[in-house]
Structure 1
Amino acid sequence: MQISDLATALPRLRDTPARRWRDILIHPLVLRLLSFTAAFALWEYAGRIPLSPAFPTFLETLGGLGAIIADGSLLKAFLITLYPLAIGLAVSVLLGVALGVLMGLHEPSEWLIAPLFIIAQAAPLAALIPILTFAYGIGLTAKIMTVCIMAMPVIVLNTLGAVRNTPKSLLEMGRSFLATRSQSIRLIILPAASPMIFAGLRLGCAAAFIGIILAELLITPTGIGDVISYSQSVADYPKMYAAILAIIAFSVLFIELLERIEVTLFRPEGRA
């Protein structure tokens, strides 16, 4: 056999059935499915022991989920929950990114504003909800403020770090081409910072979902919080866990969508 024939045959030898199965098993989608399957199996087992009389099995929870979907209560609850969540997220993203970029470009602004967000990120923000209730009542404003104080610190600090960590080689290249300040910001700094800004947006969105559920449980039981509180009060634990599972699944899908947008826009090497 000639060397060229051997080189052609080697890939076929390596592409054995065992290797193909190995490639399938380590595929990210398969690993994610295995992870979810293992978690749901443990949930089912813990419910059948039972771990607690108030802890239903996974199948009972799915039954409760089907019931609240069929009677329309889940859809109504989501519409109520998503209204303050969407407003709070929009304010957090627009104001948070703007403040982060401002602090990254203007150092005195960082000295003035950044300590507030560093303290806010480290503080137990759930403890501030009673203060917000006292200041703004139990209406929509308090819930929007709760979403903002949960989401904005992460977005602001990630944006600040992204702008500050712009590669110096890119900035020097811009100066060598006589780029103006505005051109450097628009064509160099913001594109270079965009991936990290999107990472902050994902973290901020996750915090926002936590914030809106805390608000609905601690301020006024409305939306998903109302479904959770009412189901707990009447000891309908499958529906209670079904509502929790539904909001978790929705938040995971939303954050996954943001990641897909980030990959499409800023990480072409990950599109495949």
Structure 2
Amino acid sequence: MTPTTREFVPAAVPLGRPASSPHSLQTLASNPYALRIVSFAIVALAWEWAGRVPVSPSFPTFGETAAALFSMLADGSLPAAFANTLVPLAIGIALSSVVGVAIGVAMGLNEKVEWFGVPIFIVLQAAPLAALVPLLVLAYGIGVTTKVFVVCIMAMPVIVLNSFKAVRHTPHSLIEMGRSFMANRPQLIGKIILRSATPVIFAGLRLGTAAGFVGAILAELLVTPTGVGDIITYSQSTADYPRMYAAIAGVIIVSVLFIEGLGWVEQRFLRPEKRSAS
């Protein structure tokens, strides 16, 4: 019996990997910095298109806004405005962070403090806090104190409630493990509860910082026009819309950089396992 013969078909040899291969797309998707650049490019193109249509006569293009932003950076008007805006903002964020985290941790560790504090901060988070600004002006005038209070009432509820939830949702298995190793209450709080709650606490700090930036600009618009709020108000009154949007974009850029800085501090000093993984 003669064996059956099979026809040999040579395999196709690839001449080269196409530019848009699945491997390259997967590499791009796994790079967070590349995704941020793509996201920014999409927003910039959509902004440029909306300004050229235009969607509104008062809506400038992205190019006009960028030119106004670089112009204010070159003549020093925007850095000088930020120097005034960042003073109450920094004080308010510092007070909100220290006091807010302390109150949130206390509510998470003590049920009596929770029963007293949680309803207050839930109401503050849900209430239209901008309506309190005129009352603060009547009580403290139009100085830095009022602006600091506006930043605090915007940022502190978020920080307090996130810190409270972070402590309260500590895995019970970790606490039982600490008790099995004869850890006392200060050791449980310092080495287990607070370390476990750190990611959520820092998430609350980032959200509170973003709310604090909103409060700082809101105070400058409603209390007294100084700093970046003065640029926004004056540019709106003179119909210089590229300059107005450039000031708003500057606030967003500084806010994003500050929030990214908080994330770096968390990863660098408080979460070594995340640093080693990256």
Instruction: Give the TM-score of the pair, scaled to structure 2.
Output: 0.89
> Does structure 1 residue 169 correspond to structure 2 residue 173?
yes
1:268 aligns with 273
1:49 positional shift: 1.4
1:21 aligns with 24
- Find the aligned partners of 1:201 and 1:144 in 2 and give their Cα distance: 17
1:110 aligns with 114
1:244 aligns with 248
The 5 A counterparts of 1:64-83 are: 64-83=68-87
Moved more, 200-209 or 31-40: 31-40
Larger radius of gyration: 2
> Does structure 1 residue 179 correspond to structure 2 residue 183?
yes
- Find the aligned partners of 2:272 and 2:44 in 1 and give their Cα distance: 32
**Alignment length, in residue pairs?**
259
| Amino acid paired to 1:210 | V
2:7 aligns with none
CA deviation profile, 1:156-192 (whole Å, cap 9, x unmatched): 0111111111111111111111111111111111111
| Amino acid paired to 2:218 | L
1:268 positional shift: 2.2
> Does structure 1 residue 50 correspond to structure 2 residue 27?
no
Is the Cα–Cα contact under 8 Å of residues 155 and 203 in structure 1 kept in the other structure? yes
- 2:40 pairs with 28, 36, 41, which one? 36
Flag structure 1 segments of 5+ consecutive residues without an equivalent: 1-12
Q: Detail structure 1 runs of 4+ shifted over 6 Å in the superposition.
A: none
| Amino acid paired to 2:74 | A
- Find the aligned partners of 2:256 and 2:226 in 1 and give their Cα distance: 21
CA deviation profile, 1:73-103 (whole Å, cap 9, x unmatched): 1011000000000000000000000101111
1:202 aligns with 206
- RMSD between aligned alpha carbons? 1.7
- 1:137 pairs with 127, 137, 141, which one? 141
- Find the aligned partners of 2:185 and 2:127 in 1 and give their Cα distance: 36
- Find the aligned partners of 1:167 and 1:236 in 2 and give their Cα distance: 54
CA deviation profile, 1:48-81 (whole Å, cap 9, x unmatched): 1122221111111111112211211101100000
1:258 positional shift: 1.3
2:104 aligns with 100
- Find the aligned partners of 1:269 and 1:201 in 2 and give their Cα distance: 18
| Amino acid paired to 1:266 | R
1:253 positional shift: 1.2
